[in-house]
Structures are given as C-alpha cells and as structure tokens.
C-alpha cells in the first residue's frame, strides 16, 4: 500500500474551513457545506448513523451488493482499476474486492486522512495480493489526471452510499462529468442512489432515536469552536431534518433556539430565534430520474439492481 498525492496541509484545510463558514454565515439563508461534517469524530458519528434501525440506506445497499456483487464485478472487469470516491470506512468495498483478480488495483479517495489510512490498512490485511493506492483528497476538486500510472487499464469509479444525493442536481451533473473525465473512454461507474419513498420513512432515517444524526449535525458547531475559535453556544442550536417533498430532498438544519450571535474571526453573525444554518441536502431519485440525470452528464445506464421494496438503487453506467 502506498499513498499517492499530497494530503492538503492542515493550514490550508483550516483556511478553507474558515472561508467556507464565514461565507456561509454571511449568505441568506445561512449555510455550511456538508463536507465539513467529516473530521475524524464526524466520520465516526456517520458510521454510527449507518448502524441505526432508522437509517435504511446502508443495510439496503449492502444487501443489494451482497446479492449481486459477482455480476457487478464482471461488469467492472476483474483486472480493472477500481477508484472509490469518499471511501470513508469502506465497509461495503470488500463485497466487490472479493471478486477482483490479483492484478486489479484499488484506489480509495477520502478527505479524512486517519479514516483513509485505517480503512486501507484493514482492507490490505484482508486482500494482501491486491495493490492499493490510497489518495487523500477532496474528490470534488480532483483533476482528470489525478489517477496516474493506470494507462491501458480500465478505470471504474465505485461511489456507493448515495453520496451523490448530497449534491444539488446541477452539482451532481458536474461531478458525473468529472468522473467521466477521470475514468476516460471505456470507463465505468458503479453508483448507489437512494430512492424517493414515504415522508415518514425518510424523516425517521434523519432523526434517529439514538441521536447520532443530531450529534453529527451539531459536530459542525464543535469543529467551529475547537478549530476556528468560534464563540458560540452549541446547546442553543437544535438539529432539524425533514423531507422537502417538492424538492425531493431531505434538508438538515441547525436551528437557533433564541436570538444570539456567533463570533468568528472578529465578525459577529446574528441569529433570530428560529433562524437556521442549512447544513445538508440529501436528494432522492427514482431510477428513471437518475438515469436521466446521468444521461445529461454523458453516461449510459447498463444495469440497475434494487431491493424488493425499491428503497435504494445501484446503477452501473458506462460512457
């Protein structure tokens, strides 16, 4: 296992975080991009969310992969370079890796370095013959030439977990075009996409009884305090997540419980009682809607797998 490409320096990461938060709190409505959920603690909280009874996407997608991974690996090509975007704990990845041959290469890409290191080590122990080239990076900023040394090999991106749903549809098209440039002609994309379903099921999934999603959301405030020196009272912000049906998305917010201010880097950001920071969207797509979206980005649907209740889809796309 060797690590490619430089990790963004801690100074640069802090600057980016400060700029994004400052810009987001100046805008109306106030927003903070969801990528800042994923420091080591946030990544751990996300893993906990995935184990809750209410958060169906993880177990549903895992069951789909368990049943169909052999067929999926055949489509990927058993000697290909498999690139995983936002690999995180890479819990589902072994389901695919177990069918790849020894000359395949696995390239996990994640923004959280400790998470990337630990999960790659775990996978390397389990699949010692497989070449692994972890890359610590923000995949939204990845240039097309980021995956070097793979000339002549088929490249396929694995993007599970419906993370594409955290982009707006326009951003999703941009990202899908970027993925197309990354894998080049003949490349493929195996992607998990959460489907539209009842408001009740969706609202429960983002408001788990154990409170892991609330902690995940509020971790943003804790990060602002510890990393940026923001002065704020985290207890005075409430987790609020609901399905916005007209937009086909879950929205997550941090809602101010009172009139208050956050002080950050010499600036004061005022909040009215009930005013929110919009922290995440999670778009849901029917199989047909996603096929159409992917088409706009130049991808063609080759295969689709789903569970019997059609809660979740896994698509294989080619260019």
Q: In the complex, what is the shortest distance from the CB of residue 95 to ligand AVI, in angstroms, rounded to a whole number?
A: 18
CA-to-CA distance for 89 and 100, rounded, in angstroms? 19
Q: In the complex, what is the shortest distance from the CB of residue 256 to ligand AVI, in angstroms, rounded to a whole number?
A: 20
CA-to-CA distance for 108 and 85, rounded, in angstroms? 7
- The answer to whether the bond into 29 is cis (omega within 30° of 0) is yes
**Count of CB atoms situated within 10 Å of the CB of 192:** 25
Q: In the complex, what is the shortest distance from the CB of residue 78 to ligand AVI, in angstroms, rounded to a whole number?
A: 28
Q: In the complex, what is the shortest distance from the CB of residue 268 to ligand AVI, in angstroms, rounded to a whole number?
A: 29
Q: In the complex, what is the shortest distance from the CB of residue 283 to ligand AVI, in angstroms, rounded to a whole number?
A: 9
Provide the 3-class DSSP secondary structure of residue 67.
Answer: helix
Question: How far is CA 313 from its chain centroid?
Answer: 16
CA-to-CA distance for 282 and 249, rounded, in angstroms? 5
CA-to-CA distance for 211 and 11, rounded, in angstroms? 32
> Which residue lies nearest ligand AVI, judged by its C-beta?
282
Exposed/middle/buried for 27, CB within 10 Å: 0-12, 13-18, 19+?
Answer: exposed
Helix (H), strand (E) at residue 44: helix 40-50
Q: State which residue, 33 or 184, has the beta carbon closest to ligand AVI.
A: 33
Q: State which residue, 69 or 219, has the beta carbon closest to ligand AVI.
A: 219
CA-to-CA distance for 7 and 127, rounded, in angstroms? 25
Two structure tokens written together for 56: 């169906």
Contacting positions for ligand AVI (CB under 6 A):
49, 57, 161-163, 165-166, 206, 213, 216, 280, 282
Q: State which residue, 243 or 305, has the beta carbon closest to ligand AVI.
A: 243
Q: State which residue, 173 or 261, has the beta carbon closest to ligand AVI.
A: 173
Q: In the complex, what is the shortest distance from the CB of residue 244 to ligand AVI, in angstroms, rounded to a whole number?
A: 13
Q: State which residue, 134 or 165, has the beta carbon closest to ligand AVI.
A: 165
Q: In the complex, what is the shortest distance from the CB of residue 162 to ligand AVI, in angstroms, rounded to a whole number?
A: 5
**Can you name the residues that pair with 243 across neighbouring β-strands?**
250
Q: State which residue, 101 or 201, has the beta carbon closest to ligand AVI.
A: 201
Q: State which residue, 202 or 294, has the beta carbon closest to ligand AVI.
A: 202
**Count of CB atoms situated within 10 Å of the CB of 272:** 10
Find out whether 254 and 236 touch, Cβ atoms under 8 Å. Answer: no
Stated length of the chain: 319
Q: In the complex, what is the shortest distance from the CB of residue 67 to ligand AVI, in angstroms, rounded to a whole number?
A: 21
Q: State which residue, 158 or 216, has the beta carbon closest to ligand AVI.
A: 216
């Amino acid at each position: 296992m060797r690590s490619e490409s430089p990790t963004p320096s801690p100074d640069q990461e802090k600057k980016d975080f400060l700029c994004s938060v400052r810009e987001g709190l100046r805008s109306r409505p106030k927003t903070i991009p969801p990528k800042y959920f994923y420091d080591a603690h946030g990544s751990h909280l996300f893993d906990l969310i995935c184990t809750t009874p209410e958060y169906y996407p993880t177990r549903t997608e895992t069951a789909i992969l368990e049943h169909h991974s052999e067929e999926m690996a055949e489509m990927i090509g058993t000697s290909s370079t498999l690139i995983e975007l936002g690999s995180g704990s890479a819990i589902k990845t072994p389901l695919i890796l177990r069918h790849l041959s020894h000359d395949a290469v696995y390239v996990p890409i994640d923004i959280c370095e400790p998470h990337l290191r630990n999960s790659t080590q775990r996978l390397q122990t389990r699949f010692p013959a497989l070449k692994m080239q972890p890359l610590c990076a923000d995949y939204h900023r990845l240039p097309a030439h980021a995956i070097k040394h793979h000339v002549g090999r088929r490249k396929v991106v694995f993007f599970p977990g419906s993370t594409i749903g955290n982009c707006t549809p326009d951003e999703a098209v941009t990202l899908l075009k970027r993925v197309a440039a990354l894998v080049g002609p003949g490349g493929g994309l195996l992607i998990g996409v959460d489907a539209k379903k009842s408001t009740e099921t969706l609202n429960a999934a983002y408001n788990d009884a154990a409170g892991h999603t609330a902690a995940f959301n509020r971790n943003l405030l804790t990060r602002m305090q510890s990393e940026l020196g923001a002065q704020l009272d985290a207890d005075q912000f409430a987790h609020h997540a609901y399905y916005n049906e007209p937009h086909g998305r879950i929205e997550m917010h941090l809602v101010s419980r009172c009139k208050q201010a956050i002080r950050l880097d010499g600036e004061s950001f005022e909040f009215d009682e009930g005013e929110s920071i919009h922290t995440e969207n999670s778009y849901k797509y029917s199989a047909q809607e996603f096929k159409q979206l992917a088409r706009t980005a130049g991808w063609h649907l080759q295969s689709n797998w789903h569970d019997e209740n059609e809660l979740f889809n896994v698509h294989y796309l080619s260019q």
